[in-house]
Amino acid sequence: MHTRRHFLRSATSLIALPALESLGLKAYAKTSSQRITSPVKRFVCIGANLGLHTPALYPTTVGVDYEMTPSLAPLRELRNDFTLFSGLDHRAGGGHGNWPNFLCGKNLGETSFDQRLAARLGDATRFQSLVLSGGAGGSSMPMSYLKGKIALPAIERPSVLYKKLFASASDRARTEYLLKSGRSALDFVMQDATALQKSVSSYDRAKLEEYFTSVRDVEARLGRQLVRVNEAVPEVSYELPAADPVANNLMVELETIFYELMALAVQTDSTRVISMVLPGGGQTFTLDGKMLRYGYHNASHHGNDPEKIAALTAIDRENLRCFSAFVAKLKAARDEEDRSLLDSSIILFGTGMGDASRHSNNDLPALLAGGGFKHGRHLRFSQESVEHEQRLLGDLFISIERRLGIESASFCSASHGLDDVLL
């Protein structure tokens, strides 16, 4: 009987044995990747763990003449650069535990949308993807997954991300050492797993075959990183603050720095896929010099209390103010072809929680910016239409993939796409 936990952890990966009857662990299956060429090259996703208070977000009207609501106010100057969607979701179950449905679709355990894109776009840059947390505790509320419900740990400190993006020569030497060590450790893990095949059930042997595929995928990923580890690192003039603002009452400061570093990552083409979760644990907010009476999580479970709703709306507006500044920065910057970085990037702000107060995962609000889509509108989709005509959040993902130059016909239960309204 094998009872100890088998795992491999290096500077760049975490891999565990699959869900064996005797070990209870999971692995993910290999996904193919290839270099993609498209006028739109990048995808950035921000996910709010506690959702957005939709009565303060959704306009009562649709189309181009919708009214700017309290939560949308920070985006007023960018009105023509984004689209607001209402009525989309994955028809998934409710509860906090199902919030990762946002990028995974209806079935938790599938590869999340950002990592599905990373497998196709990641070979073109130094980093296949960046997974971040714009607040303390983000790794306990993961948004990015590999197949088999393998959560990717999020970077929670700006200083760590900065060193990763703009490493010194000594830092790169250490990274190379760790990468090589990780590849050596894979041999041990494979030997360990192979030995298990002789003493486990047929079900477990099938899971181990999936695991071997996972290890080979990690080997390939480490190999790509080793090839690129000594490539020239972009020089930037950005200076980090003296300390990382990771305290629960400094979420806005942390978000702001991460957005600045994300913009640099896009400008330097260091990666083509970035995802950042905005966690909803014990965060508190001081806005306009006054601390809100209710913390983020408490306010999100408002039970229709007007004071809590006011606090939640203020937090949503502040998060969207930070998002707005990021979109504006990309709009003002130019890419290597002298286009706006916003035009060559797709930016999504969304959530897997439609109403945290009711633990509902229905009607997931989403804002889409950039990518050369037709913007400046509020698009509302009905869930009362004939089932085969209904549009899902996955249909938006299908159109995003196509815009990135990836052939796409389905995502989870979705198969239509939204090209007819976005292009």
Same domain for 116 and 18: no
Residue, of 166 and 274, whose pLDDT is higher: 274
214 pLDDT tier (thresholds 50, 70, 90): low
167 has pLDDT over 80: no
Same domain for 158 and 22: no
Lay out the sheet containing 378-380: strands in order across. 130-133, 273-278, 42-48, 345-350, 366-370, 82-86, 378-380
| Assigned domain for 107 exists | yes
| Assigned domain for 238 exists | no
Q: Residue 10's pLDDT is what?
A: 38
Same domain for 186 and 101: no
What average pLDDT does the segment 207-218 reach?
Answer: 57
Tokens 């999580």 sit at which residue?
297
What average pLDDT does the segment 36-50 reach?
Answer: 88
147 pLDDT tier (thresholds 50, 70, 90): confident
31 has pLDDT over 60: no
Q: Which residue from 89, 114, 87 is spatially nearest to 394, judged by alpha carbons?
A: 89
In the numeric block, which tokens belong to residue 304?
Answer: 């229709």
209 has pLDDT over 50: yes
Same domain for 59 and 19: no
270 has pLDDT over 90: yes
Highest mean pLDDT among 56-60, 137-141, 383-387 belongs to 56-60
Helix (H) or strand (E) holding 84: strand 82-86
Same domain for 392 and 268: yes
Total-model pTM: 0.81
DSSP for 386-420, please give it.
-GGG---HHHHHHHHHHHTT-----BTTB-S-SHH
For residue 329, give the CATH number of its domain.
3.40.720
Q: Which domain holds residue 193?
A: 1-30+179-233
| Assigned domain for 173 exists | no
What average pLDDT does the segment 96-117 reach?
Answer: 91
Alpha carbons 117 and 380: distance in angstroms, whole number: 26
| Assigned domain for 254 exists | yes
In the numeric block, which tokens belong to residue 391?
Answer: 């549009």
CB-CB neighbours of 30 under 10 Å: 17
For the CA atoms of 277, 377, 338, 117, the dihedral, rounded to the nearest 10 degrees, stands at 40
Q: Residue 21's pLDDT is what?
A: 43
| Assigned domain for 305 exists | yes
Same domain for 259 and 131: yes
231 has pLDDT over 50: yes
Looking at every residue in the chain, the average pLDDT score rounds to 83
